[in-house]
């Protein structure tokens, strides 16, 4: 899979891909992440990519020209399955969407900034808009990092068996059971006996029951 992320702050996105699971996925060649600096597509001498909003008001708006130039340039190299824009008023990101995105070959993720991007980009150049929650961030970079992490860990070969994504919360509309590790007792606080029993069928059964109970308590909406 290849992900091109268009941003005015590529440095903000360097670290998330240089550690842990995402780093390994890139090293294995399972995914290629290409950070594209929007300013490289500005037609202005000062590399300007934003301007005042028509009609006035506070906040700058990313212009359509550099974004269109950038997307057109990328599209000349390969065809894209989705061109995503991170936006607080987009579709709320859920596991189902991550599953779908993880099956794609090439995607673009466009990060907005300031007051947002010229509406015509959203109308004509974007295929889907994704929100990571009902709050407003300063820019789309952290949202893009969240989105990419959610997608990349699902690509076959990225996680090993132990950390299999299939047992994570939301995959089957259940949230994950509690987990414990050494020491077996801390401060008088123990761990459930069944986990120490070595009886794998009982452990599986307990975990499933815990998942259902937790979902009923914490996220009854998932059971509907
Ligand atoms: N004025 C806009 C917010 C702009 S925030 C509004 O009120 O809707 C600047 C940029 O941050 C956006 O263009 C978007 O790319 C990104 N962003 C902010 N919050 C986000 C969220 N919850 N999910 C995804 N992207 C977000």
Domains within the chain, CATH numbers bracketed: 2-152 (3.40.1280.10), 169-223 (1.10.1270.20)
The rounded Å distance from CA 64 to ligand 1 centre is: 17
The rounded Å distance from CA 138 to ligand 1 centre is: 7
Identify the residue whose tokens are 């290629």: 32
pLDDT tens across 51-64, in order? 999 999 999 999 99
Predicted confidence band at 162 (pLDDT cuts at 50, 70, 90)? low
Question: Quick check: 49 pLDDT over 90?
Answer: yes
The atom number, within ligand 1, closest to the CA of 62 reads: 13
Mean pLDDT (whole number) for 173-177: 94
Burial of 151 (0-12, 13-18, 19+ CB in 10 A): buried
Mutate to test the pocket of ligand 1, among 59, 62, 87, 111 (most ligand atoms within 8 A of CB): 87
Q: What is residue 164's predicted lDDT score, i.e. its pLDDT?
A: 77
pLDDT tens across 74-130, in order? 999 999 999 999 999 999 999 999 999 999 999 999 999 999 999 999 999 999 999
Question: Quick check: 189 pLDDT over 80?
Answer: yes
Q: What is residue 163's predicted lDDT score, i.e. its pLDDT?
A: 64
The rounded Å distance from CA 28 to ligand 1 centre is: 32
The atom number, within ligand 1, closest to the CA of 117 reads: 13
The shares of helix, strand and coil residues in the chain, as percent rounded to the nearest 5, are 40, 20, 40
Q: What is residue 166's predicted lDDT score, i.e. its pLDDT?
A: 80
Compute the residue count for the chain.
224
């Amino acid at each position: 899979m290849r992900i091109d992320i268009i941003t005015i702050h590529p440095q903000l996105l360097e670290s998330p891909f240089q550690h842990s699971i995402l780093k390994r996925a890139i090293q294995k060649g399972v995914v290629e992440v290409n950070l594209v600096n929007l300013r490289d597509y500005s037609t202005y001498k000062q590399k300007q990519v934003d301007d005042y909003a028509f009609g006035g008001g506070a906040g700058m708006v990313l212009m359509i020209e550099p974004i269109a130039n950038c997307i057109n340039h990328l599209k000349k190299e390969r065809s894209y399955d989705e061109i995503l824009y991170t936006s607080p008023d987009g579709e709320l990101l859920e596991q189902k969407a991550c599953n779908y995105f993880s099956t794609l070959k090439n995607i673009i993720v466009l990060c907005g900034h300031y007051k947002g991007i010229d509406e015509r980009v959203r109308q004509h150049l974007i295929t889907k808009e994704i929100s990571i929650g009902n709050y407003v961030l300063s820019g789309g970079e952290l949202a893009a990092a969240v989105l990419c992490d959610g997608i990349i860990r699902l690509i076959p070969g990225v996680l090993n068996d132990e950390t299999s994504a299939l047992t994570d919360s939301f995959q089957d509309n259940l949230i994950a059971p509690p987990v414990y590790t050494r020491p077996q007792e801390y401060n008088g606080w123990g761990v459930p006996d069944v986990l120490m029993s070595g009886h794998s069928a009982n452990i599986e059964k307990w975990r499933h029951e815990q998942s259902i109970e937790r979902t009923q308590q914490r996220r009854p909406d998932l059971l509907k």
